Protein backbone atom coordinates (compact mmCIF):
# COMPACT_ATOMS: atom_id res chain seq x y z
CA UNK A 1 0.00 0.00 0.00
CA UNK A 2 1.01 3.58 -0.56
CA UNK A 3 1.93 5.73 2.48
CA UNK A 4 -0.97 7.13 4.47
CA UNK A 5 -2.04 10.72 3.97
CA UNK A 6 -2.29 12.67 7.20
CA UNK A 7 -5.23 15.03 7.47
CA UNK A 8 -5.96 17.56 10.24
CA UNK A 9 -8.09 14.87 11.88
CA UNK A 10 -6.97 11.62 10.22
CA UNK A 11 -8.93 9.25 12.47
CA UNK A 12 -11.92 9.32 14.84
CA UNK A 13 -9.52 9.05 17.78
CA UNK A 14 -7.87 12.37 16.99
CA UNK A 15 -4.35 12.87 15.64
CA UNK A 16 -3.55 9.20 16.03
CA UNK A 17 -2.29 7.47 12.90
CA UNK A 18 -4.98 5.21 11.37
CA UNK A 19 -4.66 1.47 11.65
CA UNK A 20 -3.00 -0.50 8.89
CA UNK A 21 -5.09 -1.09 5.77
CA UNK A 22 -7.51 1.81 6.44
CA UNK A 23 -7.29 5.44 5.26
CA UNK A 24 -9.35 8.24 6.67
CA UNK A 25 -10.31 11.57 5.17
CA UNK A 26 -12.44 14.53 6.23
CA UNK A 27 -15.64 14.95 4.19
CA UNK A 28 -17.54 18.17 3.59
CA UNK A 29 -19.51 17.73 6.81
CA UNK A 30 -16.33 17.72 8.88
CA UNK A 31 -16.57 14.02 9.69
CA UNK A 32 -13.93 11.40 9.16
CA UNK A 33 -14.72 8.43 6.90
CA UNK A 34 -12.78 5.83 4.92
CA UNK A 35 -11.51 7.15 1.58
CA UNK A 36 -12.63 5.74 -1.78
CA UNK A 37 -9.18 4.29 -2.37
CA UNK A 38 -9.46 2.08 0.72
CA UNK A 39 -12.91 0.86 -0.31
CA UNK A 40 -11.62 0.11 -3.80
CA UNK A 41 -8.75 -1.94 -2.40
CA UNK A 42 -11.15 -3.95 -0.24
CA UNK A 43 -13.30 -4.61 -3.27
CA UNK A 44 -10.32 -5.75 -5.37
CA UNK A 45 -9.15 -8.14 -2.64
CA UNK A 46 -12.66 -9.58 -2.33
CA UNK A 47 -12.88 -9.99 -6.11
CA UNK A 48 -9.54 -11.83 -6.14
CA UNK A 49 -10.75 -14.23 -3.45
CA UNK A 50 -13.94 -14.94 -5.41
CA UNK A 51 -11.94 -15.53 -8.59
CA UNK A 52 -9.62 -17.94 -6.80
CA UNK A 53 -12.63 -19.77 -5.32
CA UNK A 54 -14.15 -20.21 -8.78
CA UNK A 55 -10.88 -21.56 -10.17
CA UNK A 56 -10.59 -24.07 -7.33
CA UNK A 57 -14.22 -25.11 -7.77
CA UNK A 58 -13.69 -25.64 -11.52
CA UNK A 59 -10.63 -27.81 -10.92
CA UNK A 60 -12.51 -29.71 -8.23
CA UNK A 61 -15.39 -30.49 -10.60
CA UNK A 62 -12.99 -31.63 -13.31
CA UNK A 63 -11.21 -34.11 -11.05
CA UNK A 64 -14.52 -35.19 -9.49
CA UNK A 65 -15.84 -36.18 -12.91
CA UNK A 66 -12.58 -37.88 -13.71
CA UNK A 67 -12.66 -39.83 -10.44
CA UNK A 68 -16.19 -40.99 -11.25
CA UNK A 69 -14.74 -42.89 -14.21
CA UNK A 70 -12.12 -44.59 -12.05
CA UNK A 71 -8.98 -42.82 -13.30
CA UNK A 72 -7.77 -39.23 -13.81
CA UNK A 73 -7.81 -37.72 -17.31
CA UNK A 74 -4.03 -38.02 -17.62
CA UNK A 75 -4.04 -41.76 -16.88
CA UNK A 76 -3.68 -43.26 -20.34
CA UNK A 77 -2.50 -46.61 -21.54
CA UNK A 78 1.18 -46.65 -22.41
CA UNK A 79 0.35 -47.75 -25.93
CA UNK A 80 -1.85 -44.68 -26.38
CA UNK A 81 1.00 -42.31 -25.57
CA UNK A 82 3.59 -44.20 -27.59
CA UNK A 83 4.77 -42.55 -30.81
CA UNK A 84 2.60 -43.43 -33.78
CA UNK A 85 -0.26 -44.79 -31.69
CA UNK A 86 -3.78 -43.70 -32.60
CA UNK A 87 -5.53 -41.35 -30.21
CA UNK A 88 -8.50 -43.01 -28.55
CA UNK A 89 -11.32 -40.88 -27.14
CA UNK A 90 -11.35 -37.08 -26.82
CA UNK A 91 -8.26 -35.03 -27.38
CA UNK A 92 -6.61 -34.50 -23.95
CA UNK A 93 -5.33 -31.10 -25.09
CA UNK A 94 -8.84 -29.62 -25.09
CA UNK A 95 -10.43 -28.00 -22.04
CA UNK A 96 -12.54 -31.06 -21.25
CA UNK A 97 -10.15 -33.58 -22.77
CA UNK A 98 -10.28 -37.08 -21.35
CA UNK A 99 -13.53 -36.46 -19.47
CA UNK A 100 -16.67 -38.38 -20.40
CA UNK A 101 -19.80 -36.57 -21.54
CA UNK A 102 -22.51 -36.48 -18.90
CA UNK A 103 -26.17 -37.16 -19.74
CA UNK A 104 -28.68 -35.58 -17.36
CA UNK A 105 -31.74 -36.91 -19.18
CA UNK A 106 -31.77 -40.42 -17.58
CA UNK A 107 -31.15 -38.85 -14.18
CA UNK A 108 -33.98 -36.30 -14.39
CA UNK A 109 -36.55 -38.56 -16.07
CA UNK A 110 -35.71 -41.69 -14.10
CA UNK A 111 -38.19 -43.40 -11.83
CA UNK A 112 -36.18 -42.47 -8.73
CA UNK A 113 -36.59 -38.71 -9.42
CA UNK A 114 -39.20 -37.28 -7.07
CA UNK A 115 -41.81 -34.75 -8.13
CA UNK A 116 -40.18 -31.99 -6.10
CA UNK A 117 -36.71 -32.50 -7.54
CA UNK A 118 -38.13 -32.84 -11.06
CA UNK A 119 -39.72 -29.42 -10.68
CA UNK A 120 -36.40 -28.00 -9.49
CA UNK A 121 -34.74 -29.21 -12.70
CA UNK A 122 -37.49 -28.51 -15.28
CA UNK A 123 -39.33 -25.65 -13.49
CA UNK A 124 -42.62 -27.58 -13.85
CA UNK A 125 -44.08 -30.87 -12.66
CA UNK A 126 -44.15 -34.08 -14.67
CA UNK A 127 -47.81 -33.75 -15.65
CA UNK A 128 -47.31 -30.23 -17.03
CA UNK A 129 -44.23 -31.35 -18.96
CA UNK A 130 -46.18 -34.22 -20.55
CA UNK A 131 -48.98 -31.82 -21.55
CA UNK A 132 -46.41 -29.43 -23.00
CA UNK A 133 -44.92 -32.21 -25.12
CA UNK A 134 -48.40 -33.16 -26.38
CA UNK A 135 -49.10 -29.55 -27.34
CA UNK A 136 -45.79 -28.78 -29.07
CA UNK A 137 -45.21 -32.00 -30.99
CA UNK A 138 -47.75 -30.97 -33.65
CA UNK A 139 -46.24 -27.53 -34.26
CA UNK A 140 -44.37 -26.86 -37.48
CA UNK A 141 -41.07 -26.31 -35.66
CA UNK A 142 -41.07 -29.91 -34.36
CA UNK A 143 -43.31 -31.84 -36.77
CA UNK A 144 -40.85 -31.20 -39.64
CA UNK A 145 -38.06 -32.91 -37.69
CA UNK A 146 -39.65 -35.39 -35.27
CA UNK A 147 -42.44 -37.90 -35.74
CA UNK A 148 -45.37 -36.70 -33.58
CA UNK A 149 -46.44 -40.26 -32.78
CA UNK A 150 -43.11 -41.66 -31.61
CA UNK A 151 -41.10 -38.51 -30.84
CA UNK A 152 -38.12 -39.90 -32.77
CA UNK A 153 -36.36 -37.96 -35.53
CA UNK A 154 -37.11 -38.75 -39.14
CA UNK A 155 -34.37 -40.78 -40.90
CA UNK A 156 -31.80 -38.85 -42.85
CA UNK A 157 -32.78 -39.07 -46.56
CA UNK A 158 -29.14 -38.69 -47.58
CA UNK A 159 -28.03 -41.55 -45.37
CA UNK A 160 -25.33 -41.36 -42.76
CA UNK A 161 -25.86 -40.47 -39.14
CA UNK A 162 -29.19 -38.88 -38.24
CA UNK A 163 -30.13 -36.90 -35.19
CA UNK A 164 -29.16 -38.47 -31.89
CA UNK A 165 -31.87 -36.70 -29.92
CA UNK A 166 -35.58 -37.11 -29.35
CA UNK A 167 -38.42 -34.62 -29.02
CA UNK A 168 -38.65 -35.06 -25.27
CA UNK A 169 -34.88 -34.74 -24.81
CA UNK A 170 -34.70 -31.51 -26.85
CA UNK A 171 -37.54 -29.90 -24.92
CA UNK A 172 -35.94 -30.91 -21.61
CA UNK A 173 -32.62 -29.39 -22.67
CA UNK A 174 -34.33 -26.15 -23.77
CA UNK A 175 -36.11 -25.85 -20.42
CA UNK A 176 -32.81 -26.48 -18.63
CA UNK A 177 -31.18 -23.66 -20.60
CA UNK A 178 -34.00 -21.22 -19.85
CA UNK A 179 -34.09 -22.12 -16.15
CA UNK A 180 -30.53 -20.98 -15.39
CA UNK A 181 -27.62 -18.84 -16.50
CA UNK A 182 -25.07 -21.54 -17.26
CA UNK A 183 -22.91 -21.11 -20.39
CA UNK A 184 -24.09 -23.01 -23.43
CA UNK A 185 -20.83 -24.92 -23.84
CA UNK A 186 -21.15 -26.28 -20.31
CA UNK A 187 -24.76 -27.28 -20.98
CA UNK A 188 -23.63 -29.09 -24.14
CA UNK A 189 -21.21 -31.08 -21.98
CA UNK A 190 -23.99 -32.03 -19.54
CA UNK A 191 -26.58 -33.35 -22.00
CA UNK A 192 -24.62 -36.05 -23.82
CA UNK A 193 -24.83 -36.95 -27.48
CA UNK A 194 -26.79 -34.67 -29.76
CA UNK A 195 -25.65 -31.57 -27.85
CA UNK A 196 -21.91 -31.66 -28.48
CA UNK A 197 -21.49 -27.90 -29.05
CA UNK A 198 -22.97 -24.62 -27.93
CA UNK A 199 -24.28 -24.04 -31.46
CA UNK A 200 -26.43 -27.17 -31.28
CA UNK A 201 -27.79 -26.16 -27.89
CA UNK A 202 -28.62 -22.70 -29.22
CA UNK A 203 -30.45 -24.25 -32.19
CA UNK A 204 -32.46 -26.45 -29.79
CA UNK A 205 -33.52 -23.42 -27.74
CA UNK A 206 -34.47 -21.44 -30.87
CA UNK A 207 -36.61 -24.33 -32.08
CA UNK A 208 -38.33 -24.61 -28.71
CA UNK A 209 -39.10 -20.87 -28.55
CA UNK A 210 -40.40 -20.93 -32.14
CA UNK A 211 -42.76 -23.77 -31.23
CA UNK A 212 -44.01 -21.86 -28.19
CA UNK A 213 -44.60 -18.77 -30.31
CA UNK A 214 -46.91 -20.76 -32.58
CA UNK A 215 -49.22 -21.42 -29.62
CA UNK A 216 -48.97 -18.13 -27.77
CA UNK A 217 -52.37 -16.88 -28.98
CA UNK A 218 -53.99 -19.90 -27.35
CA UNK A 219 -52.79 -19.12 -23.83
CA UNK A 220 -51.94 -15.38 -23.88
CA UNK A 221 -55.11 -13.74 -25.17
CA UNK A 222 -57.35 -10.80 -24.42
CA UNK A 223 -60.82 -11.66 -23.01
CA UNK A 224 -63.09 -12.27 -25.98
CA UNK A 225 -66.57 -12.62 -24.52
CA UNK A 226 -68.61 -10.56 -22.06
CA UNK A 227 -68.41 -13.32 -19.46
CA UNK A 228 -64.60 -13.37 -19.63
CA UNK A 229 -64.46 -9.58 -19.30
CA UNK A 230 -66.77 -9.66 -16.30
CA UNK A 231 -64.68 -12.39 -14.66
CA UNK A 232 -61.50 -10.29 -15.02
CA UNK A 233 -63.21 -7.19 -13.59
CA UNK A 234 -64.60 -9.08 -10.59
CA UNK A 235 -61.23 -10.70 -9.89
CA UNK A 236 -59.39 -7.36 -9.79
CA UNK A 237 -62.12 -5.78 -7.66
CA UNK A 238 -61.78 -8.59 -5.14
CA UNK A 239 -58.11 -7.65 -4.55
CA UNK A 240 -58.41 -4.15 -3.07
CA UNK A 241 -61.85 -2.96 -4.17
CA UNK A 242 -60.83 -1.14 -7.38
CA UNK A 243 -63.90 -1.43 -9.69
CA UNK A 244 -64.27 -1.48 -13.50
CA UNK A 245 -60.62 -2.49 -14.11
CA UNK A 246 -59.93 -4.53 -17.26
CA UNK A 247 -56.28 -5.32 -16.46
CA UNK A 248 -53.04 -4.17 -14.85
CA UNK A 249 -50.29 -2.97 -17.19
CA UNK A 250 -46.55 -2.49 -16.72
CA UNK A 251 -43.15 -3.26 -18.25
CA UNK A 252 -39.87 -4.77 -17.06
CA UNK A 253 -36.28 -4.59 -18.31
CA UNK A 254 -34.36 -7.69 -19.37
CA UNK A 255 -30.61 -7.10 -19.40
CA UNK A 256 -28.75 -8.10 -22.56
CA UNK A 257 -25.19 -8.10 -23.77
CA UNK A 258 -24.03 -4.67 -24.95
CA UNK A 259 -24.42 -3.91 -28.65
CA UNK A 260 -21.16 -2.02 -28.99
CA UNK A 261 -20.65 -3.00 -32.61
CA UNK A 262 -23.58 -0.89 -33.76
CA UNK A 263 -23.15 2.89 -33.86
CA UNK A 264 -26.67 3.60 -32.58
CA UNK A 265 -27.12 0.40 -30.57
CA UNK A 266 -25.67 1.69 -27.30
CA UNK A 267 -28.02 4.65 -27.01
CA UNK A 268 -31.09 2.80 -28.28
CA UNK A 269 -30.77 -0.11 -25.83
CA UNK A 270 -29.43 1.83 -22.83
CA UNK A 271 -32.05 2.07 -20.10
CA UNK A 272 -32.42 4.68 -17.40
CA UNK A 273 -30.26 2.41 -15.22
CA UNK A 274 -27.39 2.84 -17.73
CA UNK A 275 -27.55 -0.84 -18.75
CA UNK A 276 -28.19 -2.53 -22.07
CA UNK A 277 -31.66 -4.06 -21.98
CA UNK A 278 -34.86 -4.86 -23.82
CA UNK A 279 -38.34 -4.28 -22.42
CA UNK A 280 -41.07 -6.85 -21.79
CA UNK A 281 -44.48 -5.16 -21.75
CA UNK A 282 -47.48 -7.06 -20.38
CA UNK A 283 -51.06 -6.82 -19.11
CA UNK A 284 -52.16 -9.28 -16.40
CA UNK A 285 -55.36 -10.15 -14.56
CA UNK A 286 -55.98 -10.56 -10.84
CA UNK A 287 -54.22 -13.95 -10.75
CA UNK A 288 -51.08 -12.65 -12.48
CA UNK A 289 -51.89 -14.46 -15.74
CA UNK A 290 -50.68 -12.68 -18.85
CA UNK A 291 -53.48 -11.45 -21.12
CA UNK A 292 -51.07 -9.64 -23.45
CA UNK A 293 -47.28 -9.63 -23.77
CA UNK A 294 -44.84 -7.94 -26.13
CA UNK A 295 -41.05 -8.18 -25.86
CA UNK A 296 -37.97 -6.88 -27.66
CA UNK A 297 -38.47 -3.13 -27.36
CA UNK A 298 -35.24 -1.10 -26.89
CA UNK A 299 -34.45 -0.25 -23.30
CA UNK A 300 -34.41 3.50 -23.94
CA UNK A 301 -38.11 3.58 -24.86
CA UNK A 302 -40.62 4.70 -22.25
CA UNK A 303 -43.66 2.66 -21.30
CA UNK A 304 -45.99 5.25 -22.78
CA UNK A 305 -44.29 5.14 -26.20
CA UNK A 306 -44.34 1.33 -26.24
CA UNK A 307 -48.01 1.21 -25.33
CA UNK A 308 -48.90 3.60 -28.16
CA UNK A 309 -47.29 1.23 -30.69
CA UNK A 310 -49.00 -1.98 -29.55
CA UNK A 311 -52.02 -3.63 -31.13
CA UNK A 312 -53.60 -4.00 -27.69
CA UNK A 313 -54.82 -0.42 -28.07
CA UNK A 314 -57.41 -1.54 -30.62
CA UNK A 315 -58.43 -4.50 -28.43
CA UNK A 316 -59.04 -2.24 -25.42
CA UNK A 317 -61.10 0.22 -27.43
CA UNK A 318 -63.07 -2.65 -28.95
CA UNK A 319 -63.77 -4.13 -25.51
CA UNK A 320 -64.86 -0.83 -24.00
CA UNK A 321 -67.11 0.19 -26.91
CA UNK A 322 -68.57 -3.28 -27.51
CA UNK A 323 -71.78 -2.44 -25.61
CA UNK A 324 -73.07 -0.11 -22.94
CA UNK A 325 -72.18 -2.70 -20.30
CA UNK A 326 -68.47 -1.90 -20.73
CA UNK A 327 -68.74 1.86 -20.27
CA UNK A 328 -66.36 3.18 -17.64
CA UNK A 329 -63.87 0.30 -17.88
CA UNK A 330 -60.16 1.17 -17.74
CA UNK A 331 -56.61 -0.20 -17.57
CA UNK A 332 -54.59 0.38 -14.39
CA UNK A 333 -51.02 1.62 -14.95
CA UNK A 334 -48.25 3.56 -13.23
CA UNK A 335 -46.90 7.08 -13.67
CA UNK A 336 -44.81 6.05 -16.68
CA UNK A 337 -47.90 6.06 -18.90
CA UNK A 338 -49.76 9.09 -20.18
CA UNK A 339 -53.41 9.50 -19.25
CA UNK A 340 -55.96 8.25 -21.76
CA UNK A 341 -59.76 7.89 -21.62
CA UNK A 342 -59.33 4.19 -20.80
CA UNK A 343 -56.36 4.30 -18.39
CA UNK A 344 -55.94 5.40 -14.78
CA UNK A 345 -52.75 6.03 -12.84
CA UNK A 346 -51.99 7.35 -9.38
CA UNK A 347 -51.31 10.93 -8.37
CA UNK A 348 -47.87 12.32 -7.61
CA UNK A 349 -46.33 10.67 -4.55
CA UNK A 350 -45.53 14.01 -2.90
CA UNK A 351 -49.16 15.14 -2.85
CA UNK A 352 -50.60 16.60 0.36
CA UNK A 353 -54.23 15.81 -0.41
CA UNK A 354 -55.49 13.01 1.84
CA UNK A 355 -57.92 11.64 -0.78
CA UNK A 356 -55.17 11.48 -3.40
CA UNK A 357 -52.93 9.63 -0.95
CA UNK A 358 -55.69 7.09 -0.31
CA UNK A 359 -56.15 6.58 -4.06
CA UNK A 360 -52.39 6.08 -4.48
CA UNK A 361 -52.47 3.41 -1.78
CA UNK A 362 -55.26 1.52 -3.55
CA UNK A 363 -53.57 1.81 -6.96
CA UNK A 364 -50.16 0.69 -5.66
CA UNK A 365 -51.56 -2.25 -3.70
CA UNK A 366 -53.45 -3.41 -6.80
CA UNK A 367 -50.58 -2.87 -9.22
CA UNK A 368 -48.32 -5.15 -7.16
CA UNK A 369 -49.94 -8.07 -9.00
CA UNK A 370 -48.08 -7.32 -12.24
CA UNK A 371 -44.81 -6.80 -10.34
CA UNK A 372 -45.24 -10.22 -8.73
CA UNK A 373 -45.98 -11.75 -12.13
CA UNK A 374 -42.70 -10.43 -13.52
CA UNK A 375 -40.89 -11.63 -10.40
CA UNK A 376 -42.26 -15.17 -10.72
CA UNK A 377 -41.39 -15.25 -14.42
CA UNK A 378 -37.77 -14.25 -13.83
CA UNK A 379 -37.41 -16.49 -10.79
CA UNK A 380 -38.68 -19.57 -12.61
CA UNK A 381 -36.75 -18.93 -15.84
CA UNK A 382 -33.56 -17.26 -14.64
CA UNK A 383 -32.22 -16.82 -18.16
CA UNK A 384 -34.46 -13.74 -18.38
CA UNK A 385 -32.34 -11.99 -15.77
CA UNK A 386 -29.53 -11.65 -18.27
CA UNK A 387 -29.89 -12.58 -21.93
CA UNK A 388 -26.57 -13.47 -23.59
132 Cα distance to chain centroid: 20
93 vs 317, higher pLDDT: 317
Q: What is the DSSP letter of 207?
A: H
- DSSP helix, strand, coil percent of the chain (3-state; round to 5): 45, 15, 45
Q: Is the per-residue pLDDT at 252 higher than 80?
A: yes
- Select from 259, 208, 209, 298 the least CA-distant residue to 388: 259
> Are residues 367 and 249 in contact, defined by beta-carbon separation less than 8 angstroms?
no
What is residue 286's predicted lDDT score, i.e. its pLDDT? 92
The predicted-structure confidence for 190-246, as pLDDT tens digits, reads as follows: 887 778 788 889 999 999 999 998 888 888 888 888 888 889 999 999 998 888 888
Q: Is the per-residue pLDDT at 291 higher than 50?
A: yes
Q: Is the per-residue pLDDT at 68 higher than 60?
A: no
Going by pLDDT thresholds of 50, 70 and 90, the confidence category of residue 184 is: confident
- Stretch 159-176: mean pLDDT, rounded? 82
Compute the mean pLDDT over every residue in the chain, rounded to the nearest whole number.
Answer: 75
d(CA 282, CA 247): 10
DSSP letter for each residue of 316-354: HHHHHTSSGGGTT-EEE--TTS---TTEE----TT---H
Strands 277-284 and 386-387 come out as: unpaired
> Are residues 337 and 345 in contact, defined by beta-carbon separation less than 8 angstroms?
yes
> Are residues 38 and 22 in contact, defined by beta-carbon separation less than 8 angstroms?
yes
Least confident of 109-123, 149-163, 227-241, 366-380: 149-163
Q: Is the per-residue pLDDT at 16 higher than 70?
A: no
267 vs 370, higher pLDDT: 370
Q: Is the per-residue pLDDT at 277 higher than 60?
A: yes
Share of the chain above pLDDT 90, in %: 19
Dihedral class, residue 287 (left if φ above 0, else alpha if ψ from -120 to 50, else beta) = alpha
What is residue 238's predicted lDDT score, i.e. its pLDDT? 92
Going by pLDDT thresholds of 50, 70 and 90, the confidence category of residue 80 is: very low
The predicted-structure confidence for 348-374, as pLDDT tens digits, reads as follows: 878 888 888 888 888 889 999 999 999
100 vs 213, higher pLDDT: 213
Q: How many CB atoms lie within 10 A of CB 39?
A: 12
Amino acid sequence: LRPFRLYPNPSPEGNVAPRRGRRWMVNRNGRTAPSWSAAHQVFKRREARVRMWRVRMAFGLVFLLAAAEGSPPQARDSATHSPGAAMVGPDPRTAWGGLPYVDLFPLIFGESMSERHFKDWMRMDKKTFAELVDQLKFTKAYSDIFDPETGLPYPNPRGGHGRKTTLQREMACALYVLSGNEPLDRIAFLWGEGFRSSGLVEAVVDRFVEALHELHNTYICWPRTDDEVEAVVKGIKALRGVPHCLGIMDGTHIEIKGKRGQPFGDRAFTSYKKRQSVILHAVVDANGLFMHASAGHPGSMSDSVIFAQLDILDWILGTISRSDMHSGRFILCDSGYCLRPFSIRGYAYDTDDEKEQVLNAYVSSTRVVVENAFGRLKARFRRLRYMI
